[in-house]
Structure 1
Amino acid sequence: MESSTVTQPWAIAVFDIDGVVRDVSRSYRRALADTVEHFTDGGYRPTPADIDRLKGEGSWNNDWKASEELIYRYYESQGRDRNTLALDYETIVAFFQVRYRGKQPDRPAAWDGYICDEPLLMSADYLQSLSRAGIAWGFFSGATPASARFVLEQRLGITPTVLIAMGDAPDKPNPTGLITAAQQLATNPHLPAIYAGDTVADILTVRRARYEASDRPWYAVGVLPPHLETASDRDRYAQQLTEAGADCVIEGVEALTSDHIQALLA
């Protein structure tokens, strides 16, 4: 199934992947916590709330960079200057990848890490329903291309025609990748586009797209990630997304039906 089957779409839906298509609370976030714990010699393991607070700053969509930043902040809390620390970013990335992908991180067919156990939050049937309703869809994610393709093609069973992943465009909240995805999904530059994501950086990406591609109406949909266990956690996170500029916040991505999209654009 491919998104290009929508020949005359009336709207575009672009989706983030982590926290939207798949639950990464026990995979990416677990690998992040493992990495920080390892490089602080067991001195600090960030909690889900710690990671939320960092990502709430809007600049830490890349989990490798987020890991590095939390390591730096831990040592700063111990009175050390980050400029004196001998951290090697590539070593941090390599450790993270072994945890997340497995002992052969460059061979997707051999992956046996946390990525293999990620619950899916979106179904192929849901995407088919959008196609039938005349909505073109694609993906823009900070995940690596290999990781994104693994979940979309091998886990979800789809072959999207539009996938902008890490390295294809600058990191969010730079809107280049989102704008490119929308352009690839439909030639009409005035067609409304929705971006569904679960972080402040995702919402800020939409806000910036409104300035850089102002001919197109842009809508930001906040999706509550599944690691939020209590009602108060969800309310607090929803408020954070709303304050960042989300046009609406939903409990899960499949709540973004064609009827919901029509109401949003009305």
Structure 2
Amino acid sequence: MPPFLQPQAPRSQGAQIPPTAARYSVGLTPSFLTSACTFGFARPYLAGTNEETMPKSRLTQSSYKVPRAQAPIDLRLDANEGRALISAAELGESGPLNRYPDRRVLEEMIAHRHGLSPDEVVVTNGGDDAIDRICRAYLDSSSNLVMTLPGFEMIAKYASLSGAEVRHLEWWSGPLNAARLLELCDADTRVLALVTPNNPTGATIEATTVLELAEALPEAVILLDLAYTEFANQDLEKLVSQRANIVATKTFSKAWGLAGLRVGYAIGSPEIVGTIRAAGGPYPTSSLSIFAAEQALGKAEDMRANVERVKMERAALALQLKELGLQTLPSQANFLLADVSSAGQNGAWLRDALSGFGIGIRAWPDKSGPVDLRPWSRISLPCDANDFERLLHALGCALSPEALLFDVDGVLVDVSASYRSAIIETARHFGVEISVEDIAAIKARGNANNDWVVTHELLGAAGTQVDFERVKAVFEGLYHGDQDTPGLWTREKLLVELEFLKTLKTGFRLAAVTGRPRRDAERFVAQFGLEGVFETLVCMEDAPLKPNPAPVKLALERLGVERGWMFGDTPDDMRAARSAGVLPVGVKAPGEQSESHLFGAGAAWVLENAMHVSLPSRPVEKR
């Protein structure tokens, strides 16, 4: 190895670089690096050292993160994304990828669309990037930004990162009070941020109010966030030509449906736009993103059709939520903000409930700022007829269930000493030792709703091949017993109080949906005095076993209802419920520690006991 690449012993008395951490570079020996660090040129990262050697950040904020439910989601209505106008297949002609992107053509197209000159437009990495650049360019530790709350949370974050003080006026709906907003402003106010339609409320600001504020604050930048303006009755983008201190930020993420490609822009005076351009990197968006935005602008008619569809859904959803007892704020965006407290719940409860149907909505589980959004949920409009019907059905089931359906084993009754013991003892009869963990594993896997089949499969997995009918006969003999030996069924214990079920029956139709043979299910009802509690029993003989949704659908049909909840302790129960269009509620069987398998199969919640369920406060009257 050449001498100048040889590791050298450090000459200073500073921190020692271990051999495994040495990095070689021509002319830069570890000795040089250590000396440089010691004299303040740099600070080395030494693997395994204590926290005091780590760089200290001045940031006190955490990264942006949306708190989401644990169930799998395939219909995301939590981020206000618009319906896509461009498919991935249309992006194949975006140009050579070895060249830096050129946004000038897109800026010219945007300028033409708004009746501006190209020097009044700057394309950015989403609307967020434009807001961030404005904050970095105009704010510092001696200044402040004034905004309304609740509002777009990234504005306050960007202002704080710039060192500025953030002042806010609480504004939920109705006309914005300009006089009260101006009371918060002073000589150090460098940015006044106005979001219209506002996120997350959907409220709008009148043009006259914006102009009044701009005139009153000539030394401040009036940041007009118009991310949702296409869905509003009035577009305020022309105000940038009326006052030099107004700058508008817009995005292709909402009405144009390009959220995944991160394209936004700012429009305003050449002076402000030039400052915004200088406040960030020269290539904020990729060639692919620029090409997609150019193509989208050519589909303005499709965009307007989507906007009209969203407006129709917005009105219909507001009506549906009102009928379900929830109040919504008047919105001119592609979402509604609903107050869930009138159902006796909070926004996170509704978020979790809809997750059981694979639908994601926005909630704020914690009060992390000056305003409390915990009672609220924000629901984006899907801009699709089928998805919208799915949303309405899910809301109806969650907020106004007509029926509650219960699996029996592990939910209403403890079968750890009966059915589970029958599996273990049957296997032992054939010379195979099966553990409780083995049974739990195969149940968690799914397609395990028949304990005869489960026993037979566990024997086969252990290398013991036995005729299925022999396995079934031994199992049944153990479970039912005979004149001399009590059956294992006598060991079963009720997991819920009888009064709990009787109370539920006063407001809901009740049914049991079980994989038990009918005689076992009927004996269970008689054994625990449940006669008259369940209007119907759906048993093994009535329909294919869960996870097939047929038994759940049959229960709804027999009850004559459409909306319900299903309580179960296995992934099969959760999958059957979701496929049948009812809300899946997981219940941990006695001794069960894990809950991930139930959430993974679609459970909205996982309860320690079915009696811990939190129902909405407005159940439909029992027929």
Q: 1:45 aligns with which of 429, 433, 436?
A: 433
- What are the Cα deviations for residues 226-259 of structure 1, in whole angstroms up to 9, with x where unaligned? 123xxxxx2xx21111111101111011112xxx
Structure 2 residue aligned with 1:92: 471
Q: Of residues 600, 612, 616 in structure 2, which corresponds to 1:255? A: 612
| Pairing partner for 2:573 from 202, 207, 212 | 202
Note if 1:124 corresponds to 2:498. yes
Contact 1:138/1:162 (<8 A) preserved: yes
1:141 to 514, 523, 545: 514
Residues 43-99 of structure 1 deviation map (CA, whole Å, 9 limit, x = unaligned):
x321111111111111111000000000000007xxxxxxxx4x2211111100111
Equivalent residues of 2:422, 2:475 under 8 A apart: yes
1:88-127 Cα shifts (integer Å, max 9, x gaps)? 21111110011111026xxxxx982110121111232111
Q: Residue 449 of structure 2 corresponds to which residue in structure 1? A: 61
Cα shift readout 1:158-216 (whole Å, capped 9, x = no counterpart): 2332000111110111111111101222x343xx2111000011111112213xxxxxx
Amino acid corresponding to residue 92 of structure 1 in structure 2? V
The residue type paired with residue 69 of structure 1 is E
Q: Pick from 168, 176, 179: which aligns with 2:553?
A: 179
CA distance in 1, matches of 2:408, 2:446: 17
| Contact persistence 2:402–2:561 (CA under 8 A) | no
Partner of 2:527: 154
1:232-243 paired onto structure 2 within 5 Å: 234=593, 237-243=594-600
The one-letter code matched in structure 1 to 2:596 is Q
Shift of 1:10: 4.9
Give the secondary structure class of the aligned counterpart of 1:91.
helix
Higher fraction of helix: 1
In the alignment, which residue of structure 2 is the partner of 1:75?
463
Distance of aligned partners of 1:204 and 1:264 in 2 relative to their CA distance in 1, 3 Å threshold: farther
Provide the residue aligned with 1:24 in structure 2: 415
Q: CA deviation at 1:11?
A: 2.1
The superposition leaves residues 15-52 of structure 1 with CA deviations (integer Å, 9 ceiling, x where unpaired) of 0000111100011000001111222x2xx321111111
- The residue type equivalent to 2:403 in the other structure is I
What is the CA-CA distance between 1:264 and the residue it aligns to?
11
Is the CA contact 1:58–1:204 (under 8 Å) kept in the aligned structure 2?
A: no
Residue 103 of structure 1, aligned match among 477, 482, 488: 482
1:262 match: secondary structure: coil
Mapped contact 2:403–2:561 kept (Cα < 8 A):
no
Contact 1:124 1:158 in 2 (8 A): no
1: distance between equivalents of 2:435 and 2:537?
A: 31
Deviations 1:114-170 (A, max 9, x none): 1012111123211111122x1111100001111111111222332332000111110
Tell me, which stretches of 5 or more residues in structure 1 are unaligned?
Answer: 1-8, 77-84, 105-109, 211-217, 229-233
Closer/same/farther in 2, CA of residues 174 and 147 from structure 1, 3 Å limit: same
The amino acid of 1:32's aligned partner reads I
The answer on whether the counterparts of 1:12 and 1:137 sit within 8 Å (CA) in structure 2 is yes
Q: Which 4+ residue blocks in structure 1 deviate beyond 4 angstroms?
A: none
Q: TM-score, normalised by structure 1?
A: 0.77
The residue identity in structure 2 corresponding to 1:248 is W
* Letter of the 2:615 counterpart: I
CA contact (8 A) 2:424 2:434 kept: yes
1:246 — aligned with what? 603
Confirm or deny: 8 A CA contact 1:55 1:199 kept in the other structure.
yes
> Residues of 2 paired with 1:238 and 1:45: CA distance?
26
- Is 2:401–2:564's contact at 8 Å kept on the other side of the alignment? no
What is residue 223 of structure 1 aligned with on the other side? 587
1:57 is aligned with what amino acid? R
Q: Distance in 2 between matches of 1:10 and 1:25?
A: 31
Q: Which amino acid aligns with 2:608?
A: E
Shift of 1:261: 2.1
Whole-Å separation in 2 of the counterparts to 1:48 and 1:75: 19
- TM (norm. structure 2) is 0.34
